[in-house]
Amino acid sequence: MKITLPKLSPMRSPEFTFGVATSSFQIEGSVETRLPCIWDSFYQQEGSVADNSNGDVACDHINRWQEDLALISSLEVDAYRFSISWARVMNKDGSVNQQGMKFYIALLDELKSKNIKAFVTLYHWDLPLHLEEQGGWLNRNTAYKFRDYTQCVVAEFGDRVYSYATLNEPFCSAYLGYEIGIHAPGIKGKAFGKKAAHHLLLAHGLAMQVLNQESPNTLNGIVLNFTPCYAETNSREDISASEFADDYFNQWYIKPLFDAQYPEILNQLPTTDHPDVVDGDLDIISQPIDFLGINYYSRAIYRADTTENFISVLPKDVPLTDMGWEIYPKAFTELLEDLNNKYILPPIYITENGAAMVDEKINGQINDTSRIEYYQSHIAAVNNAIAKGVNIHGYFAWSLMDNFEWAEGYLKRFGIVHVDYETQQRTIKASGYAYRDLISNR
């Protein structure tokens, strides 16, 4: 089974970047060689991680990185997106952990020697625990600590990097981590989500100032996730409920970047839930960026409600991934067009897209046709958006390999490469071969 592109697709151009993505906590393991981060303690909270697992070993990438880079190279991708563990490269006193930096520098050098572009994400949810103990993203000072960390990374990495993203999916850090508490650090309270979000966005803006000044030759930006919001019916009430949800979950993170303001619904939220905005913050947050990373997996459907601003409705009889997420590629094209109409955007990279599916290993092979179908339909959706005028420069499959899927532990597999967690053996799935062939047959 193949993944194909239309004959004249711009995605066939050698200028279009195809890559694979991972993140530090999800693959690295070797926790004893770095400072603890919020995910190291989160799993100890009763019921927080579905299989009670942790990131102590994960994919043992710290010890197997050369094998993993060979694997990436065998997939013939143009780029590898990965994140830096803040807790691995910085000491508590703000000095650099040379051992940790060395690890990433060796990895970057090896990528360069293999002619694979390095897309570095500076923060993918693994805040050093000692910073959480000082209030984490609820403490404005964390944003300044992030700026300092960025400065150190940029100074150490020199010209080895192709692209820096400040944050991965600040929505998840803020909403899942500080509002509904299903991700680390597990804090719950409506009053906290938007406050944490503001400090994350401030951290992004401060880091962008560093990147634009100290690393002007890299492609610098941020990665946002979007779950497009649809109304259950055409009623005015359901439509406004879905618009409210869209502002709350999606536009909240992009509008400050491009319009230097939060969505209007801010005025409908109780003042106790407002972010603590200091004069000048929105100017910092809306620094120019070279690219916008967009992560898409699924859509959501909303209904009006008499007590809440919206309630989410689970669609019936629709195809789902193993995460229970609806497979709905049309929303991907619509999202890209909609953002393109709403904002003046820099070049877009699809920095994550993919699916957790139930994989079966039969005679040593994983014939994951449902994942190939997912990729086929979503890559076609990207192609359609480009045809409609959206300026998209790249696409990254999430994920290179099965890994620690946060609150789901190791139960959900997103990889195009299978990982046997007992032996750490990697096996390229049929989707991995199909992705490789798509790239090499451009």
Residues in the site for ligand IFM, rule: CB under 6 A? 23, 26, 169, 295, 352, 398, 405, 414
Nearest approach, Cβ of 413 to ligand IFM (angstroms)? 11
Asked if the peptide bond before residue 288 counts as cis, ω within 30 degrees of 0, the response is no
Enumerate residues 6+ apart whose C-beta is below 8 A from 92.
35, 128, 130
> Using CB atoms within 10 A of its CB, is residue 265 exposed (0-12), middle (13-18) or buried (19+)?
middle
Contact 350, 392 (CB under 8 A): yes
- State how far Cα 130 lies from the chain centre: 23
Which lies closer to ligand IFM via its Cβ, residue 352 or residue 373? 352
Which lies closer to ligand IFM via its Cβ, residue 168 or residue 218? 168
Distances (CA, A) of 397 to 14, 200, 321, 350, 356: 17, 25, 15, 9, 12
Name the E strands within 169-286: 219-226, 229-231
Nearest approach, Cβ of 69 to ligand IFM (angstroms)? 20
Which lies closer to ligand IFM via its Cβ, residue 11 or residue 167? 167
Which lies closer to ligand IFM via its Cβ, residue 23 or residue 215? 23
Which lies closer to ligand IFM via its Cβ, residue 244 or residue 435? 435
Q: Which of 110, 132, 169, 232 is catalytic?
A: 169
Nearest approach, Cβ of 405 to ligand IFM (angstroms)? 5
Nearest approach, Cβ of 295 to ligand IFM (angstroms)? 5
Contact 165, 122 (CB under 8 A): yes
Which lies closer to ligand IFM via its Cβ, residue 97 or residue 295? 295
Nearest approach, Cβ of 15 to ligand IFM (angstroms)? 26
Q: Which of 334, 352, 373, 405 is catalytic?
A: 352
Instruction: Read off the tokens for 402.
Output: 């099965």
Q: How far apart are CA 33 and CA 69, in angstroms?
A: 21
Output the CA torsion 407→410→415→419 (10° steps).
160
Helices (H) and strands (E) in the chain, counts: 16, 15
Q: Between 61-74 and 98-113, two packed helices, what is the crossing angle to 10 degrees?
A: 10
Nearest approach, Cβ of 176 to ligand IFM (angstroms)? 10
Is 169 a residue of the active site? Answer: yes
Active site residues: 169, 352
